[in-house]
Amino acid sequence: MAKCAQCGRTLPAFSFRKVCEWCIRHEAAQRGEEEDAIQPVMPVPWAHTNHSSGMVAAHEGLRFSMASVLAEQSREYRLSMSERSFQLAAYK
């Protein structure tokens, strides 16, 4: 995603502008053009928030459950193979 050339905030997708809406309004307010307009509160670019923490937790839970299932299947396979080797040794 593109960043604002002045403040570094993330610009909206498919935007061909180089400067964000906040910077445009801020410059207009400094020039005295916009007196009654409310300046929107936007997050600063250096204070990242993790919006996908629930998704990360779900992904980690899925990875853990898959690993435990695979480990259990591997243990069962090894046990069945060792029983078969004992059966083959007794057959000879």
Same domain, 1 and 36: yes
Q: Residue 67: what residue type?
A: A
Same domain, 64 and 33: no
Is residue 32 within 8 Å of 24, Cβ to Cβ?
A: no
Query: For 30-51, how does the pLDDT look when each residue is reduced to its tens digit (9 = 90+)?
Result: 888 766 666 667 777 666 666 6
What's the pLDDT score for residue 67?
Answer: 92
On average, the pLDDT of the chain sits at: 77
Rg of the chain, C-alpha, whole Å: 30
Query: For 74-86, how does the pLDDT look when each residue is reduced to its tens digit (9 = 90+)?
Result: 877 777 766 666 5
Instruction: Tell me how far CA of residue 40 lies from CA of 4, 10, 16, 25, 51, in angstroms.
Output: 16, 15, 21, 9, 20
10 φ/ψ angles, rounded to the nearest 5 degrees:
-75, 130
Q: Count of domains in the chain?
A: 2
Same domain, 31 and 2: yes
Nearest-10 Cα torsion for 81, 82, 86, 87: -30
Is residue 52 within 8 Å of 38, Cβ to Cβ?
A: no
Same domain, 61 and 24: no
Same domain, 60 and 91: yes
Same domain, 25 and 9: yes
Kind plus residue range of the DSSP H or E element containing 60 = helix 53-91
Asked whether the predicted pLDDT for residue 64 surpasses 90, the reply is yes
Q: What domain range includes position 2? A: 1-43
The predicted model gives 1-23 an average pLDDT of 83
Same domain, 39 and 55: no
